[in-house]
Chain A
């Protein structure tokens, strides 16, 4: 029996339990390396400012700037509006999150912003592929729309992380696979990104309905969903962080006493 079990184990590979444990160990190791740098050195006020600026930038880019530029609207000219929105929001997001970069002594601001810039096309490709998996149409016109939508979504999700963490795989893993953000900054990265993704997932629901409204077109309602989810989760992460800070300061005071 034992031999047989061994054979089977070899066939299946290392037992999944072991795999998971090993994975967790690895994560812990990385976490221990970087956790201090993340939560310690960044002041919460700066984080709040950055988040608010980014939220404002997205709102500005989606509604106000297109309106100034000849009354464009997301419903009727989605491609142009999304292009303007990304052009407005991306520099602001990329630059303001570069301010919060890890290891500021080694890594200059322009390098962090450049990392964000590199993250954009990768994010576009991933988001667009996923959108087509979820059922976005494949015709040329729709593909253009998909790419623009992907640009907006990756501005909201991938770019901040790329600007802050660069190619640091453990952080990416922790934020997007394990969903175990560590500290205020990671929460401020993880929650809005998930908010944008889930928002656009929910935003796709009204699309099949036969109401015949222009905003049901791809990618209008998904854009609404993404932006709505992003803003909502930005607020949630702000509150969360504020509560945590109060809590920790209280604890600190108690300890001090």
Chain B
């Protein structure tokens, strides 16, 4: 291989991008579960698609059996249902006149999917309700804990009448945070961390949900309590009493508010569903812990509230009363650990409780005899406590209220809850004996339940079909096929005829009829079980897809990220060995890499081909697993092998001799830098990187990361100041540098930039401004704009036009056109803001056409200028290289010039995107960077003595360490710019307004690009394109006597990029590790996961940008071959 150094460096960066990309892909695949939000909604009219569900097998008992042929029966079933339903419908209609909403429902064809079984529902949510708050302490091992048995009213009610009141274990799905849980409870789905939806940022639910369905069918929902509900459902409530949930130390505001509003509302008839959300328990848990006596107080308070509510409801539940058909549900949205944390998936956090009390005393009991569900807790007094997944809540409540199931619900209607509220529609016939009576009741209820499950399965299947059609990452095919088989089995079973024993029904013998009934029950049960099997399989598929971390993928990702760090480190180490013969081969040993990575997949393939041989051995299951994920396994094996090959390709093997494992190099060349060789500044920079990395393990430091970066910057500024004082030169620059570190984070918080209105509100100038009349206001505003926007722009123009032009590097036509371009775009920015002020002040009426031009066309012009400048620069460089390439050794000049041009070209677009404070920020950053560059001479000079020692004859080994300090500091500056421009590693910190600069309507790609440029532009693009300036500045300082040759320049720039991306990779790896360790942490979704997303996107962006920046290396590489 005769690749030049430049080509190898470029390929190395491509390889690193691949490595990082694969690592982050694997980790993300395991960690960030994504789900697409569908915008489809369920409608009442959808019911036509499921008419077959209402085939009543039961009819053949009470009616004349028409079993002779199937078709007849089917056609007959329609009218029979009508007949069956009529009395019930009348009942609904009768009571419906009392409330207008029921009336509306009646008008819209009465029944919607299912028959409503309750008229009102009261849902009291107790945030962070642990299961052992509700269940009796005798069910838990050990002595009763202080927090147990504090809600005795629930126990008592269940013990009194098991057929109207029940306690369940309610199983939440992680993430167990209130917002995600409310989303899950109402949509019946499994909200993931990233629900890919159609809105950026806003938390409002866009998916179909229970509240939306209630609203659409005319039910009125009243909410009181946690204001999270209002964020999620801004318009769905007919009345809402939100209370702030933010302050965790405030234990009582929300609860007292709910209690105050709850009781009056219970007397009113202006709602159909009432939601009360108590936050006290959650806040006690967060502020104190579960064992604190305050928890007992809180629970006792709830006990009283529930007691009063139940008494009140009981008083009003006489036939014809307001709460005759009311269901009271008391439930938790998630549990909590003993320390009061929640968010993860431990049993303590996931297990919460649901208590249901039906006011209708006629109901219940028939179904549970037939469908025995598994018992989770066997309580000696209240009997079996079974568990309900939270997934099922939305479908179950929708059934009860007779509204369509939310489109994305994957839950099933719970049999026991259904049993609790559903009434036997017919009074039991008197002529049947008692035993048969109850079995008839069971039969009828089973029939209804089967019908509901049929609709339920149809709806879940419809959702999966729609999801696979739309989603970006669909569901695994084989799982879907399995589901489909289950569904068709259930459906086929449903279609087959039941009444094969019906001809006996004419026989009046009681015994025979009882037998038939029993057989019927068995057969319906079989069908019910078939549907349940389908629904459970669907739910578990959804769960595996959307809630469980793929630990194995996370581990692979976590192993590959340090590998990419190691590759960078080894590359840097080999760069330092540049005295050896053909040392540059070590930068990217192509042959070992290719051979090993391709060769490594061979055993995997062979194993898979030969897998029948291993049948029965312990390997077999592992092999099957590999076979299932064959592409991922081969990809990771290949990457891992390439990393191993890279690390083990010994220096000796580069010189074409023998390939040996690592030890090939001579002892001398493997010597690590000794203490004397390491300069103190790099040690300090390494200390800063380590401190920064360690801080990422704590959520507090991630929240305060801006302050952490600023602290480290200030520390490095102090060190520069010390150097400056020590050398007695550039003290002014060092002081300026410190000053800018002081100013930069504070610029963003100045109220001045939010426009004069904000200043007025801030109270500082308010008295002066109030007295001023409006024209004075306008004048003030204009002066402000000119000073904050215009002045920095003028300064920057001056800097570009005169300061940089003086340097010899930037002569020529291209440079002049860049100057003109930037000057024009700066002028346009000023015009833009002045016009914006004029129009917003309302004093001067600017015509709409003009404003439209200003708002849309000025930013677009600026974007165009940026693109034009950058493409012109690229074209010009290529041309230059063609003409001059082989004549001069001008790599340094070319790199410097292209870096400057790109930075200058970008600045216009960035400023307009960054808003009013953009120009000032960028000017400050520019001056700060200038100070920083000036200060480089302090530390790099002393170290370069041996480097340029001419008398030795041969070149000394290059030191790798000294360039670490500048690169690490460069990275610090980049992070400081990121944070001080008002960004944070949080999705709420994105500046969404920037996406609409120059555009009015939303387009995913253009707005995404603008947002990305605004977010990462100043902190990633500019530093990377500017890095050659830093490196070459240092190089110019050290090599002032002799011009550096091209190879050296490429070497130095490569080194700079390697160090820069090494620091980024370390930070990202630590973030990834901490997100993996803390994946059950309370704050994982709020703090760690966004940080991980930002860091990994940042790292990939760094890799891509470095590749773009180093692509100019090709000009020199070929040129070198020309010359050699």
User: Would you call A87 an interface residue if the criterion is a C-beta within 8 Å of the partner chain's C-beta atoms?
Assistant: no
User: Would you call B4 an interface residue if the criterion is a C-beta within 8 Å of the partner chain's C-beta atoms?
Assistant: no
Question: Which B residues from 687 to 712 make CB contacts under 8 A with A?
Answer: 698-701, 703-704, 707-708, 710-711
Question: Which B residues from 704 to 751 make CB contacts under 8 A with A?
Answer: 704, 707-708, 710-711, 714-715, 717-718, 722, 725-729, 738, 741-742, 745-746
How far is B708's CA from A16's CA once the two chains are assembled, in angstroms? Answer: 32
User: Would you call B103 an interface residue if the criterion is a C-beta within 8 Å of the partner chain's C-beta atoms?
Assistant: no
Q: Please judge, given known A-B contacts A5-B1042, A16-B937, A173-B725, whether A135 and B710 are in contact too, CB under 8 Å.
A: yes
User: Would you call B757 an interface residue if the criterion is a C-beta within 8 Å of the partner chain's C-beta atoms?
Assistant: no
Q: Which of A17, A173, A201, A210 contacts B700 (CB 8 A)?
A: A210
* Tally of contact residues, A, Cβ under 8 A: 30
Q: Which of A8, A176, A177, A208 contacts B708 (CB 8 A)?
A: A208
**B628 / chain A contacts, CB cutoff of 8 Å:** none
**B727 / chain A contacts, CB cutoff of 8 Å:** 16, 19-20, 23
How far is B708's CA from A19's CA once the two chains are assembled, in angstroms? Answer: 34
Q: A99 to nearest B CB, angstroms? A: 29
User: Would you call B1050 an interface residue if the criterion is a C-beta within 8 Å of the partner chain's C-beta atoms?
Assistant: no
**A133 / chain B contacts, CB cutoff of 8 Å:** 714, 717, 738, 741-742
| Interface 1/0 per residue, B1033-1056 and A, CB below 8 Å | 000110011110000000000000
User: Would you call A134 an interface residue if the criterion is a C-beta within 8 Å of the partner chain's C-beta atoms?
Assistant: yes
Please give me the residue from chain B that is nearest to A15 by CB atom.
Answer: B1040
Q: A203 to nearest B CB, angstroms? A: 12
**B700 / chain A contacts, CB cutoff of 8 Å:** 208-210
Q: Please judge, given known A-B contacts A133-B717, A133-B738, A208-B707, whether A12 and B1040 are in contact too, CB under 8 Å.
A: yes
Contact B726 A5 (CB under 8 A): no
Contact A15 B941 (CB under 8 A): yes
How far is B703's CA from A161's CA once the two chains are assembled, in angstroms? Answer: 40
Q: B112 to nearest A CB, angstroms? A: 48
**A8 / chain B contacts, CB cutoff of 8 Å:** 1036, 1040
**B728 / chain A contacts, CB cutoff of 8 Å:** 19, 23, 26, 173
Most buried by A among B698, B726, B742, B937: B726
Contact A134 B941 (CB under 8 A): no
**B941 / chain A contacts, CB cutoff of 8 Å:** 15-17, 19-20
* Tally of contact residues, B, Cβ under 8 A: 37
How far is B725's CA from A23's CA once the two chains are assembled, in angstroms? Answer: 10
| Interface 1/0 per residue, A20-31 and B, CB below 8 Å | 100100100000
User: Would you call A130 an interface residue if the criterion is a C-beta within 8 Å of the partner chain's C-beta atoms?
Assistant: yes
How far is B723's CA from A173's CA once the two chains are assembled, in angstroms? Answer: 11
User: Would you call A152 an interface residue if the criterion is a C-beta within 8 Å of the partner chain's C-beta atoms?
Assistant: no
User: Would you call A178 an interface residue if the criterion is a C-beta within 8 Å of the partner chain's C-beta atoms?
Assistant: yes
Most buried by A among B714, B725, B1040: B1040
**A20 / chain B contacts, CB cutoff of 8 Å:** 727, 941-942
Q: B815 to nearest A CB, angstroms? A: 19
Contact B1041 A16 (CB under 8 A): no
User: Would you call B938 an interface residue if the criterion is a C-beta within 8 Å of the partner chain's C-beta atoms?
Assistant: yes
Q: Which of B708, B746, B1040 contacts A5 (CB 8 A)?
A: B1040
Q: Which of A15, A138, A204 contacts B746 (CB 8 A)?
A: A138
Please give me the residue from chain B that is nearest to A208 by CB atom.
Answer: B704
User: Would you call A106 an interface residue if the criterion is a C-beta within 8 Å of the partner chain's C-beta atoms?
Assistant: no
User: Would you call B945 an interface residue if the criterion is a C-beta within 8 Å of the partner chain's C-beta atoms?
Assistant: yes
Q: A173 to nearest B CB, angstroms? A: 7
User: Would you call A9 an interface residue if the criterion is a C-beta within 8 Å of the partner chain's C-beta atoms?
Assistant: yes
User: Would you call A244 an interface residue if the criterion is a C-beta within 8 Å of the partner chain's C-beta atoms?
Assistant: no
**A13 / chain B contacts, CB cutoff of 8 Å:** 729
Q: Which of B699, B710, B741, B1040 contacts A210 (CB 8 A)?
A: B699
User: Would you call A69 an interface residue if the criterion is a C-beta within 8 Å of the partner chain's C-beta atoms?
Assistant: no
Q: Which of A5, A135, A177, A210 contacts B1041 (CB 8 A)?
A: A5
Q: Please judge, given known A-B contacts A16-B941, A17-B942, A17-B945, whether A201 and B722 are in contact too, CB under 8 Å.
A: no
Contact A16 B698 (CB under 8 A): no
User: Would you call A132 an interface residue if the criterion is a C-beta within 8 Å of the partner chain's C-beta atoms?
Assistant: yes
In the A-B complex, the 4 residue pairs with the closest CB atoms: A16-B941, A208-B704, A177-B725, A177-B726
Contacts A134-B711, A208-B704 supplied; 11 other A-B pairs, CB < 8 Å: A5-B1041, A16-B937, A16-B941, A23-B727, A129-B742, A132-B742, A134-B710, A173-B725, A177-B722, A178-B726, A201-B715
> Could you show 27 A-B contacts with beta carbons less than 8 Å apart?
A4-B1043, A8-B1036, A9-B1040, A12-B1036, A12-B1037, A15-B941, A15-B1040, A16-B940, A17-B945, A19-B728, A19-B729, A20-B941, A20-B942, A23-B726, A23-B727, A130-B718, A132-B742, A133-B717, A133-B742, A135-B707, A135-B710, A177-B726, A204-B711, A208-B700, A208-B701, A208-B704, A210-B703
